[in-house]
Amino acid sequence: MARRRYVEAKMRETARLFGFGEVMTPTFESTELFVARSGEGIIDELYAFEDKGNRKISLRPELTASVMRFYVNDMQNLPKPVKLFYFGNCFRYERPQAGRYREFFQLGAELIGAPSIESDAEVIALALATLKNLGLEDVVVRIGHLEIIKGLLSDIGIEGGEQKHCMAYIDKHDYSGLDDYLTGQKKKTKAKKLLDIIELTKDQYGKADKKVIDYAEIIAPGITRTVNGLNYLKNVMERLGTYGFKDYRVDFGVARGLDYYTGMVFEIDAPSLGAEKQICGGGAYTLAGLFGGQEVNSTGYAFGFDRIMLALEKSGVNVPHQNLSVYILPIGDEAKIAAIKILSELRNAGISADMDLMGRNMSKAMKYAASINADKVILIGDKELADGSLTVRDMKTGNQEKVPISDIKDYL
Amino acid sequence: MARRRYVEAKMRETARLFGFGEVMTPTFESTELFVARSGEGIIDELYAFEDKGNRKISLRPELTASVMRFYVNDMQNLPKPVKLFYFGNCFRYERPQAGRYREFFQLGAELIGAPSIESDAEVIALALATLKNLGLEDVVVRIGHLEIIKGLLSDIGIEGGEQKHCMAYIDKHDYSGLDDYLTGQKKKTKAKKLLDIIELTKDQYGKADKKVIDYAEIIAPGITRTVNGLNYLKNVMERLGTYGFKDYRVDFGVARGLDYYTGMVFEIDAPSLGAEKQICGGGAYTLAGLFGGQEVNSTGYAFGFDRIMLALEKSGVNVPHQNLSVYILPIGDEAKIAAIKILSELRNAGISADMDLMGRNMSKAMKYAASINADKVILIGDKELADGSLTVRDMKTGNQEKVPISDIKDYL
């Protein structure tokens, strides 16, 4: 928990540096809210139930829907943009994976109501700065745009459910599955441009070279939606470069699972995690209208907090941990009273301190102090009381020193 | 949220100074766990439901049961004492009150496995130090012991359900209700000692004078449980005095609602909150045995976090809030690029900074910067780009200064 709270505070601090303000929403919402966002199918994955008043409620599976409901209810009249972040637990009734439990934590951000290129760049910049501030360097950022592929699919008459089906293959980077599907639908020959463009960033880690955008423009010159998507992506990349971020990949295969994404989409992987490596997902979306508000540009993302904790561990990133500074061992009844007084004095001075409550003897107390990683042990017995001094033992070096009681605060 | 997170961090820091380590448990548990702790009646107050695997689960109504389950499962073999604290949300299906919502937050601590007087004093000391560190001075701490009243009730033959009924009146400080009940049960004359002892601390804020213990001993000399309870309380009070805490009251009317409390019990009120003023409750208890573990002394408490937030507000305690340091307004396309670069540089240096994404003109941008409480606004236009300087406006004083771009970090 000390490690988790440290990481949480670091992430919160980065959001504050970017001018994002924290919000919190209830743990459960009307089931309706999540169905509106993701369709009836979502119920299978929810902890959905009826409360004692027969209201259908669900533990939240993610927080964007809740934050946008909050925005629509209470924040529509605020001057734009509204920059929000959140940290909270979510619940999904699904098979647990590595770093993905049935109850899990997300830390995410939403930028609402600014022009979209500006929003997209600012939001990606926040995600990248957060990871940088955590010291998690070994990450791959993949940026795409939904219109690039959707334009090509529409161009060859793949729309609606068929298009969703194809996007699902792409989302999983399952290109041979896509190939088979297109062959089965007798679309394979017509889909040459699509397959050529996919070929450009087919590598699961995308392509670092921004020239893929130029190549893609050469492949699909007449297809307006695709070309617009490519140009848009180029603008976001340029702006991100101005922010000082250049270390990302282009990946036309970022499709995200959900319908409400509208344009730019991005994902971040921590390759050290192996197969289940995604630690962040986000993009541009519209949801306010769906929840009864005025439609508005939004861009957001969510970090999988538990996976970030795992990634930090696997990447050997040290998270500072504060040991207990002092463990006090009084020997004898009079010493106990003196010990409590010193204990209180140290704690009041902001020095973490504990004392023996068990009546342990010296050797057992030393073992206990070592087991709780105390930095120092203070011994008070009759001798110490008589000469008004304390014996302070450094648990790392084993050195012992006599320190006058009145100097102990300064000494520590 | 900024205020809440500040208070949360302050409370966490105090627990760390006392050598308590943070734990976290799941948001829901088997309904059984809460029934074992509090009886079948609790189900009416729970968000209880069945999951898709037909398991009966409930959103936790408090955290002691969860923490003790965790202790029994995973921490019984740790060297004693085990000192734990937690911060988490809880859920009760009941009528919301001021500062008490259906979803609410508790921050609490449990000290497990040390001798009871030592534990009781350490735990009360932590609660008091936490409030002191928050600057919440206007509180009343009431300390009692269940055996004092229970001994007297047993002495006149009031046991079992009857005793619980009487304890419920006492818990509510409803002494006229108790009087009527005893009269109805024809116990009024026999209960003279009980009523005399209650009279000693009948004031809803208890009695500050420790002599009430001596008076009580004079009233009930032969009743062993009562006398033991009184002596125990005296010892806890003495030890608390050594810690430096003397500002508490004796209240024989602290009964706590729950069966598992065994001895010392305490509550803390914030009188500024009016009728719903209790912000903390706790005491000595045993629960490990009930959950299948080896029985062990424990003392713990929980703060009502939301009520503490209200009490801080009502008592006028200032919680520091960090404004956005800088809002950058670029005028023109070239200025936008320069603005992004300065923005990133400031954020990297730990200075919170935001910039106009909306293309606002000067007067609208100033209004926006004021609305988000920015400390300073930086202006960059053609003039500034030409001479490599920035115009920095202090939003409090209205003063404007020219600052070379290269000096801006140091200047801020």
Q: Which residues of A touch B91 (CB under 8 A)?
A: 27
Q: Tell if the CB–CB gap between B344 and A243 is shorter than 8 Å.
A: yes
Q: What is the pLDDT of residues B380-399, one digit of tens each?
A: 999 999 999 999 999 999 99
Give me the DSSP letters along B21-41. Answer: EE----SEEEHHHHHHHH-GG
Does any CB of chain B come closer than 8 Å to the CB of residue A2?
yes
If pLDDT is split at 50, 70 and 90, which confidence band does A39 have?
confident
Tens of pLDDT, residue by residue over A151-172, are 999 999 999 999 999 999 998 8
Residue of chain B minimizing CA distance to A352: B17
Mean pLDDT (whole number) for A373-400? 95
CB contact under 8 A, B81 and A52: no
pLDDT digit string (tens) for A44-73?
A: 999 999 998 899 999 999 999 999 999 999
List the single residue in A47, A59, A347 with the smallest CB-CB distance to B129.
Answer: A347
Nearest CA in chain B to A364: B79
Q: Which residue of B has its CA nearest to A337?
A: B242
Confidence of residue A209 (pLDDT cuts 50, 70, 90): confident
Question: Is the Cβ of A215 closer than 8 Å to some Cβ of chain B?
Answer: no
Express each pLDDT in A232-257 by its tens digit: 999 999 999 999 998 899 999 898 76
pLDDT at B242: 95
What's residue B358's pLDDT? 95
- Checking if the pLDDT of B257 tops 80, the result is no
Does B6 lie at the interface with A, CB-CB under 8 angstroms? Answer: no
Q: What is the pLDDT of residue B210?
A: 80
CA distance B27 to chain A (A): 8
- Comparing A1-10, A191-200, A250-259, B294-303, which segment has the lowest mean pLDDT? A250-259
User: Are the CB atoms for B245 and B127 separated by under 8 Å?
Assistant: no
* Residue A179 near chain B (CB below 8 Å): no
pLDDT > 70 fraction of chain B, expressed in percent and rounded: 100
Q: pLDDT tens across B222-248, in order?
A: 899 999 999 999 999 999 999 999 889
Q: Which chain A residue has its CA at the smallest distance from B349's CA?
A: A17
Q: Å from B152 to nearest chain A CA?
A: 31
Burial class of residue B272 in the structure, from the number of CB atoms within 10 Å of its CB (0-12 exposed, 13-18 middle, 19+ buried): middle
List CB contacts (< 8 A) between B343 and chain A. 243
Instruction: Give yes or no for B239 touching A (CB within 8 A).
Output: yes
- Per-residue pLDDT of A117-143, as tens digits, reads 999 999 999 999 999 999 999 999 999
What number is the ipTM of this complex?
A: 0.93
Mean pLDDT of chain B: 93
Q: What is the dihedral of CA B275, B96, B141, B118, to 10 degrees?
A: 160
Per-residue confidence (pLDDT) for residue B179, from 0 to 100: 92
Q: Residue B397, class by beta-carbon neighbours within 10 Å (0-12 exposed, 13-18 middle, 19+ buried)?
A: exposed
Tell me: pLDDT of A97 over 90.
no
Chain B positions touching A119 (Cβ under 8 A) are: 357
**B23/A contact by beta carbon, under 8 A:** yes
Provide the shortest C-alpha distance from residue B356 to chain A (in Å). 9
Q: Find the helix or strand (DSSP H, E) in which A48 lies.
A: strand A48-50
Instruction: Name the packing angle between helices A116-134 and A2-17 (round to 10°).
Output: 140
Q: Do A19 and B340 touch (CB under 8 A)?
A: no
Is A93 in CB contact (< 8 Å) with chain B?
yes
Which residue among B23, B243, B353 places its CB closest to the CB of A340?
Answer: B243
Q: Is pLDDT above 90 for A259?
A: no
Question: CA nearest B358 in A: which residue?
Answer: A114
Report percent pLDDT > 90 for chain B. 81
* pLDDT > 90 in chain A, percent: 81
Size of interface A-B (CB pairs under 8 A): 135
Inspect the interface and report whether the beta carbons of B371 and A47 lie closer than 8 Å.
no
Chain B residues in contact with A83 (beta carbon < 8 A): 354
Contact A66, A25 (CB under 8 A): yes
pLDDT higher than threshold 70 for residue A258: no
Taking the Cβ of residue B50 and every Cβ of chain A, the question of whether any pair is shorter than 8 Å is answered with: yes
pLDDT over 70 (residue A103): yes
The confidence score (pLDDT) of residue A205 equals 77
In this complex, which of A2, A19, A79 lies closest to B22 when CB atoms are compared?
A: A2
Those residues with Cβ within 8 angstroms of residue A31's Cβ, 6 or more apart along the chain or in another chain: A43, A46, A48, A56, A57, A58
Q: CB of B2 within 8 Å of any CB in chain A?
A: yes
> Residue B112's closest CA among B145, B67, B143?
B67
A1 vs B22: CB contact, 8 Å cut-off?
Answer: yes
Confidence of residue A204 (pLDDT cuts 50, 70, 90): confident
Strand order in the sheet with A353-355: A353-355, A326-330, A376-380, A389-394, A400-404
**Contact flag A2-B9 (C-beta cutoff 8 Å):** no
Contact: B2, A12; criterion CB under 8 Å:
no
Q: Residue B297 to residues A329, B71, B86: CA-CA distances in angstroms?
A: 21, 13, 19
| B144, B236 contact by CB (below 8 A) | no
Query: Is the separation of the CB atoms in B293 and B319 below 8 Å?
Result: no
Q: Read off the pLDDT of residues A325-344 as tens digits, 9 standing for 90 and up.
A: 999 999 998 999 999 999 99
What would the mean pLDDT of B17-42 be, rounded to a whole number?
93
Interface contact flag, A340 B239, Cβ < 8 Å: yes
- A299 has a pLDDT exceeding 80: yes
Q: Which residues of B touch A244 (CB under 8 A)?
A: 341, 344, 348
Helix (H) or strand (E) holding A55: none
pTM for this one? 0.94
How close B245 gets to chain A, by Cα (Å)? Answer: 10
* Surface of B (308-327) touching A: CB under 8 A: 322, 324, 327
Tens of pLDDT, residue by residue over A303-317, are 999 999 999 999 999
Work out the pLDDT band at A321, boundaries 50, 70, 90: confident
CA distance A45 to B398: 54
Cβ-based contacts of B28 with chain A (< 8 Å): 47, 103
B21 close contact with A: CB closer than 8 A: yes
Chain A segment 106-135 residues within 8 A of B by beta carbon are 114-115, 118-119, 122, 125, 129
Mutation choice for A interface testing from B238, B242, B341, B373 by most A CBs within 10 A: B242
Chain B interface includes A59 (CB < 8 A):
yes
Kindly list the residues from chain B whose CB atom is less than 8 angstroms away from the CB atom of residue A309: none
Q: Which residue of B has its CA nearest to A16?
A: B352
Contact criterion met (CB < 8 Å) for A91 and B27:
yes
Partner B contacted by A349 (CB < 8 A):
no
Residue B114, min C-alpha distance to chain A (Å): 6
- Phi, psi values for residue A263, rounded to 5°: -150, -105
Q: What is the pLDDT of residues B103-130, one digit of tens each?
A: 999 999 999 999 999 999 999 999 999 9
Flag whether pLDDT at B258 surpasses 70.
no
What does the pLDDT look like over B52-90, one tens digit per residue? 889 999 999 999 999 999 999 999 999 999 999 999 999
Tens digits of per-residue pLDDT, B191-224? 899 999 988 988 877 787 788 999 999 998 889 9
- Six token digits for residue B84: 């734990």
pLDDT in tens, A350-365: 999 999 999 999 999 9
Sign of the four-CA dihedral B122, B127, B132, B138:
negative
The DSSP annotation for B280-316 comes to EEEEEE--TTTTTS----EEEEEEEHHHHHHHHHHTT
The pLDDT of residue B4: 96
Q: In what order do the strands lie in the sheet with B48-50?
A: B28-30, B56-59, B48-50
Query: What is the average pLDDT across B278-288?
Result: 95
Q: Spell out which residues of chain B touch residue A6, defining contact as CB-CB under 8 Å.
A: none
Is A95 part of the contact surface with chain B (CB cutoff 8 Å)?
no
Among A362, A394, A351, smallest CA distance to A375 is for A394
Q: Is A218 on the interface with B (CB under 8 A)?
A: no
Q: Which residues of B touch A2 (CB under 8 A)?
A: 21-22
pLDDT at position B385, please? 92
